[in-house]
Structure 1
Amino acid sequence: MFNDSINYLKNSDDAARTILVGGLLGILGFLIVPALVVQGYVIRVLRRVSAGDTEAPTFENWTKLAVDGLKAFAIAFVYVLVPAIIGAVFVGGGVALANESPAVGGIVAVIGGLLTLVAGLAIWYVIPAALVRFAEKNAMGAAFDYDSLSPILRDREYATGWLLALSVIVVAGVIASVLAAIPLLGWLVAVFVGFYAQVTAAYIYARSYAEADEHRLRDRPEVEDGRPAV
């Protein structure tokens, strides 16, 4: 899977243009709309790869890309609210309690910080699968269909793919940081590296999701006449 993910964008018919456009949009990401278009492109990658399409998409129908990017941002935002609320309640409550009892307040704040960290990691693990399901069903509600997502999240293929994608992102981040140390030109190149890594990680997420979903369908209980149970 790793070699396929690295070559996914490079071997596409319009690789040079796609990478150029993606990098330029990344440079203009501070304008928000370009960043949404890039995220929409990532959603298109998730949709295609999860369906078994090995050809990387191009930047076409930008309005659709921007809308999908906005929806993806909204989905991620809702998920991120969970650790944010936990942090606000426990850490904030600990700070407030510290005025009355510093020891109790400190303990509550530490516990809250640990819970926030655990919740943050859990959400980080869930979001890619939720975005693939959104891309697959083209419905925001599908990203919160926990009955369908749970078997995926418990599957070893998805867990392995998530770790592999994380490795790609970390390595790309290190490379980008080194390049960014070069005045101007290095920062620009780093943006292109970041876009390529983002697409590579998306490929891995979608492939691992698809393989986990195959396991879910194969292992689904059947009724007596041999048809899948609903």
Structure 2
Amino acid sequence: MISASLTYLRDGDDAVVTVLIGGLLLLASPLVVPSILVLGYVSRVLRRTADGDDAPPAFDGWSGLLTEGLKGFVVTLVYSLVPLAVFAVAAVFGVGAAVVGSGGGSGSLLGGLLGGAFALVLALAALAVSLAGLYVTPAALAAVADSGRIGDGFAIGTLWTVVAKRAYATGWLTAAAVVLAGALAVGVLSVVPVLGTIAGVFVQFYALVAAAAVVGWTWTDVRPVAPDPPDSEIAERPAV
């Protein structure tokens, strides 16, 4: 699957144009809107590959691309904010423990130790939540891309049936390996000042799309099966 993902964009009709546009958008990502457009493109890749279409989408229909990207942006933002909130609480308790412990006395020392221990527990919990978020986010993005409904990205019960499958774990690890390989390539290119850093952004886009293709192919096998809707009309009995 890794080799197929690495040739996914290359085998497209407009590979050079797509990588060029995607890289330029990533370069301008501090402006926020370009990064949302990239997320919109990733969403299209997820949907197409999940539906069995291995032709890379083009950067067109920019208003629709922006809409899809906004949905993906909300999903990634929420899954990243939760662990950050827990980390913030841990930091508050850590500072409080340091202040109490510096007050002197056995009571202050005990309070500082308890506060510090609680802050450590919260920090470990935040780390666990962060790792869980990284694991679930691709499935959430695929669910939203598949249905077009942003609420499906937060349907925890349904997503659990997906992320608990071995096929999803395998696909996630494969996508993570692709992203890691891209990050290593970016690191090597960054040794060259300016030009290497710019080239690394295009490599980053290529790796991101390759990983999205892996997730899309995985979603084909693990996507929840919707129950058949009940018949709206009762068939009439044939006359005897």
User: Fold conserved (TM > 0.5)?
Assistant: yes
Structure 2 CA distance, aligned partners of 1:39 and 1:140?
A: 14
Aligned-residue sequence identity (percent) comes to 39
Structure 1 CA distance, aligned partners of 2:86 and 2:160?
A: 22
Structure 2 match to 1:83: 83
Structure 2 match to 1:40: 40
Structure 2 CA distance, aligned partners of 1:21 and 1:81?
A: 29
Structure 2 CA distance, aligned partners of 1:196 and 1:143?
A: 24
Tell me the C-alpha RMSD between the 2 structures. Answer: 1.7
Structure 1 CA distance, aligned partners of 2:47 and 2:30?
A: 26
Superposition pairs of residues 1-230 of structure 1, within 5 angstroms: 1-100=1-100, 101-213=111-223, 217=225
Q: Which runs of 5+ in 1 are unaligned?
A: 221-230
List structure 1 runs of 4+ shifted beyond 6 angstroms. none
What amino acid does structure 1 have at the position aligned with 2:123?
G
The two structures have a TM-score, normalised by structure 2, of: 0.85
What amino acid does structure 1 have at the position aligned with 2:12?
S
Structure 2 CA distance, aligned partners of 1:29 and 1:94?
A: 34
Offset, 1:89:
2.6
What amino acid does structure 1 have at the position aligned with 2:67?
V
Structure 2 counterpart SS, 1:8: coil
Q: Give the count of matched residue pairs.
A: 217
Structure 2 CA distance, aligned partners of 1:80 and 1:26?
A: 19
Offset, 1:182:
0.5
Structure 2 CA distance, aligned partners of 1:26 and 1:13?
A: 21
Structure 2 CA distance, aligned partners of 1:90 and 1:23?
A: 37
Structure 1 CA distance, aligned partners of 2:199 and 2:8?
A: 20
Structure 1 CA distance, aligned partners of 2:176 and 2:41?
A: 19
CA contact (8 A) 1:133 1:142 kept: yes
Offset, 1:161:
0.9
CA contact (8 A) 2:71 2:144 kept: no
Structure 1 CA distance, aligned partners of 2:201 and 2:152?
A: 31
Structure with the bigger percentage of helix? 1
Structure 2 CA distance, aligned partners of 1:79 and 1:186?
A: 32
Offset, 1:90:
3.4
Offset, 1:93:
2.4
Offset, 1:84:
2.1
Moved more, 30-39 or 90-99: 90-99
Structure 1 counterpart SS, 2:8: helix
Offset, 1:123:
0.6
Structure 2 CA distance, aligned partners of 1:204 and 1:135?
A: 14
CA contact (8 A) 1:157 1:209 kept: no
Instruction: Considering Cα pairs closer than 8 Å and 6+ residues apart, tell me whether 1 or 2 has the greater RCO.
Output: 2
Moved more, 166-175 or 77-86: 77-86
Question: Residues 32 and 122 (structure 1 numbering): CA distance in 2 closer, same or farther, change over 3 Å?
Answer: same
What amino acid does structure 2 have at the position aligned with 1:3?
S
What amino acid does structure 1 have at the position aligned with 2:92?
G
Offset, 1:112:
1.2
CA contact (8 A) 2:93 2:116 kept: no
The two structures have a TM-score, normalised by structure 1, of: 0.89
